[in-house]
Amino acid sequence: MKIEKAVYRPAILPEHRGNPLIEALPTKYTDEELVDRLSFYPSHSFDETQLDPFERVEYLTRLKDLRQPLPIYLDCFRAVEMAIKEGYSVKNPLSPTTMNYLHYPIDRRPNIEPRTGYFKPKGCGITVIGESGVGKTCMLEQILGCFPDTIEHSQYKKHSLPLRQVVWIKVDCPDDSSVRALCHKILSELDSKLGFEPTKRAGTIPLLLDQIEARIKSSFLGILVIDEMQNLNLAKTGGADRLLGFIHNLVNNLGIPILFCANPPFNQLLSRTLKAARRAESNGYFDVVLMENDSVWSLFIEELWELQWTNVRTPLTGELNDKLYELSVGNMDLAVRIFREAQRYIIGCVDERITGELLEHAASIAIKASKTVTDEIRRERSITTLKRKLNTTLLLARADMAHIQQKELVAVEGVSQSIPGDLSRPHHPEFADALTILQTADDLFERIDNPDLVQHAAAEEKPLELLRQEGVFCEHPLKVFA
């Protein structure tokens, strides 16, 4: 936990100036400065590679500390930074509006409006989605680490300001989708950040909600990060909806920015209602995916490959790069584990060079539990590649056939020509391109906004009218697609 004394710096936006909560935040970093803050490259020297094998093996633990920021890290940081400032912009502790906000719940505030107006929340939502192991949590920890945990204020200009400002807290979503359990976690984290003794929990849910509201307000919480949101128990009747309702209340009534971090099932839950999806992604939606074997992967693998504690350095070749990518399927965590296991296995041998065969052997040991998943990902990628090759071949074959038939068909006066049918050619070329795209699409089901639309239309008195409104009933296709 980092409690820092407030150091005030002029805010960039004029409307933020004079707000100690914003002026106490770190100076805005340039992209270059941000990369330095988000990265960590473990130390490594030639002398370490000349130590005894049993000592060199211990140095391999440094591989876990490698932090190579990717482009999405910068975008996510900017979204978090903007959300914190936006939330604080309406909570100036020197304003009568904020005093009214601190002392009265939204539904029980007096009718006398402060001279600066009633509090108008500016909370927002950020969502980070990605498969397990792609580095979501690691990315968030690096981003949040750029901000202080708590800022202690005492004097702002000529104003006494005895308060502690909690910039961020991070909690895990409870497995049972319990509002009570989430409240307890939030209270515990706030107590820890503020340096308080554990707060005695209220006995009933209504009192607990009042308690959590008062504590969040008084601590001037900047952003609430909730990890493992895929834990929402959809099977438990109303559990997920109640918890999401509680979280959205924090955004709507208290103006607290929320960041959700979850595995892919969570985005399906959000998409059930436009309201939930809109709130959750109002300040950014980040899909953290497995890396492609491109320049971003090269950026990471070149830094990883530098960390060799073998007694002979193995240069990174295209073959080794591709092999490690294939084995790890672009997952940074798996790549580090395979590379570490390869060195652990070979250190102390007569020949300590790293080869493709060694990486394969290391993968069979280091990622046994992940083998089923990685094999499935490789299989899906192979099928996608084959689809693309097959479609390209078919299109070329059809073009060649059409060209040959055009040459062979010669008009002879007085002789009727019979044009043979060609089943390989589209009978309606005006639809061909759109249908080809759909045939090869990997996200076909995601493109269908409402898979039950036809059933819904069948239940209507005027089914065609509903289909027209949804834009899926085309009365004049030849005019539209010609």
Q: How many residues does the chain have?
A: 482
What pLDDT does residue 419 have? 45
Higher pLDDT, 264 or 279: 264
Which of 22-31, 98-107, 109-118, 409-418 has the highest average model confidence (pLDDT)? 22-31
What pLDDT does residue 376 have? 63
Q: Which residues pair with 452 in a beta bridge?
A: none
Q: In angstroms, rounded to a whole number, what is the distance separating the alpha carbons of residues 327 and 373?
A: 11
Q: In angstroms, rounded to a whole number, what is the distance separating the alpha carbons of residues 99 and 20?
A: 15
- CA 138 from chain centre, in angstroms, equals 11
> Taking Cα atoms as reference points, which of 290, 280, 286 lies closest to residue 131?
290
What pLDDT does residue 442 have? 56
Q: In angstroms, rounded to a whole number, what is the distance separating the alpha carbons of residues 34 and 146?
A: 9
Which of 100-109, 114-123, 178-187, 394-403 has the highest average model confidence (pLDDT)? 178-187
What integer is the mean pLDDT of 61-71? 92
pLDDT higher than 80, residue 435: no
Q: What residues does each domain of the chain span?
A: 3-38+70-288, 295-369
> Taking Cα atoms as reference points, which of 169, 182, 171 lies closest to residue 222?
169
Query: Per CATH, is 3-38+70-288 categorized as 3.30.70.330?
Result: no
How do residues 194-211 score in pLDDT, each as one tens digit?
A: 988 888 888 888 888 888
User: Which has the minimum average pLDDT: 23-27, 385-389, 409-413?
Assistant: 409-413
Six token digits for residue 132: 């397990």
**Identity of the residue numbered 83:** A
Q: Which residues pair with 224 in a beta bridge?
A: 169, 258
pLDDT band at 309; cut points 50, 70, 90:
very high
What pLDDT does residue 135 have? 83
What integer is the mean pLDDT of 171-183? 86
Question: End-to-end distance of the chain based on CA atoms, in angstroms?
Answer: 64
What pLDDT does residue 445 have? 59
Taking all residues of the chain, what is their mean pLDDT, rounded to a whole number?
82
Q: Which residues lie closer than 8 Å to 275 by C-beta, 6 or more apart?
A: none
Q: With beta carbons less than 8 A apart as the criterion, state whether 227 and 259 touch.
A: no
What integer is the mean pLDDT of 388-417? 54
